[in-house]
């Protein structure tokens, strides 16, 4: 088990690293042109978030741009008028697709209904002036969106749109473990196994006041330097405190 003073060193190094990551780094895209869209358009951001199930992050965050290019717009009012069959045809013609493509039309349909009927066409009204618990419930009401994705959405909204949810129960906000966060926590020596459960428990030990806050830095480190094969340890900002467990 990692000693408490070691945990403090790792936590501090992790948050020092995070200062060098722009918020857009949390929304990676396959092509540069797609990044400004999801970073500035709440509807595009919400769409990618809701589709984020088992697909590589850079593909997911590029899909709203692909939809915009295919349709010639990303207008929720116009998309609201499309049938499920038309939405299915849309996804079938995209150059990049979500893993659960059969569920995607319904997910898009339900998100768009909320944006148009409840938010006046402005997706930022999903979270503006709202409590974190309400935002999470809204996302979870959409087909295919579970607690993990809804929690991730809240964290990303804070990071990407400089929103601060005062009511957020940060002590109970866990990371959303994926291949990057699991790998980095294990190699740092904080996690005792390469499993989702071990990663969640490790993040709780590492930053008990707000476990979810380490999700973004861990993910970026895993994607940038701590690769599964041929990690770039000498370039990594965590090299000084890393146990390098391979």
pLDDT tens, position by position, 198-243: 999 999 999 999 998 898 899 889 989 999 999 999 999 999 999 9
Tokens matching residue 60:
């997911």
Angle at 196 (CA atoms; ends 38, 98), nearest 5 degrees:
35
Show the domains of the chain with their CATH numbers.
4-23+171-241 (1.10.1670.10), 31-167 (1.10.340.30)
On the question of pLDDT at 24 being above 70, the answer is: no
Centre a 10 Å sphere on the Cβ of residue 19 and count the other Cβ atoms it contains: 8
* DSSP 8-state code for residue 55: S
Place of tokens 């499309």: 82
Mean pLDDT of 5-27: 81
On the question of pLDDT at 19 being above 90, the answer is: no
| Whether the Cβ atoms of residue 200 and residue 185 lie closer than 8 Å to each other | no
pTM over the 0.85 mark = no
pLDDT tens, position by position, 35-89: 999 999 999 999 999 998 888 889 999 999 999 999 999 999 999 999 999 999 9
- In the prediction, which pLDDT does 156 show? 87
Mean pLDDT of 135-148: 94
Q: Tell me the chain's radius of gyration from C-alpha atoms.
A: 19
Non-local CB neighbours of 116 within 8 Å, separated by 6+ positions = 76, 77, 80
């Amino acid at each position: 088990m990692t000693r408490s003073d070691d945990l403090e060193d790792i936590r501090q190094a992790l948050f020092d690293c995070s200062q060098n990551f722009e918020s857009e780094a949390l929304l990676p895209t396959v092509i540069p042109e797609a990044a400004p869209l999801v970073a500035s358009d709440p509807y595009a951001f919400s769409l990618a978030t809701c589709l984020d199930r088992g697909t590589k992050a850079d593909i997911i965050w590029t899909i709203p741009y692909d939809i915009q290019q295919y349709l010639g717009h990303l207008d929720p009012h116009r998309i609201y008028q499309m049938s499920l069959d038309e939405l299915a045809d849309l996804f079938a013609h995209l150059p990049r697709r979500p893993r659960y493509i059969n569920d995607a039309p319904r997910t898009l349909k339900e998100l768009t209904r909320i944006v148009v009927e409840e938010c006046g066409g402005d997706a930022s009204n999903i979270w503006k002036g709202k409590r974190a618990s309400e935002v999470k419930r809204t996302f979870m009401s959409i087909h295919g969106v579970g607690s993990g994705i809804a929690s991730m959405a809240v964290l990303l909204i804070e990071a990407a749109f400089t929103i601060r949810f005062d009511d957020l129960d940060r002590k109970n906000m866990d990371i959303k473990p994926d291949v990057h966060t699991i790998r980095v926590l294990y190699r740092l020596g904080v996690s005792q196994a390469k499993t989702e459960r071990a990663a969640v428990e490790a993040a709780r030990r590492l930053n008990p006041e707000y476990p979810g806050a380490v999700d973004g830095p861990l993910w970026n480190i895993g994607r940038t330097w701590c690769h599964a094969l041929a990690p770039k340890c000498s370039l990594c900002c965590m090299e000084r405190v890393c146990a390098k467990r391979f």
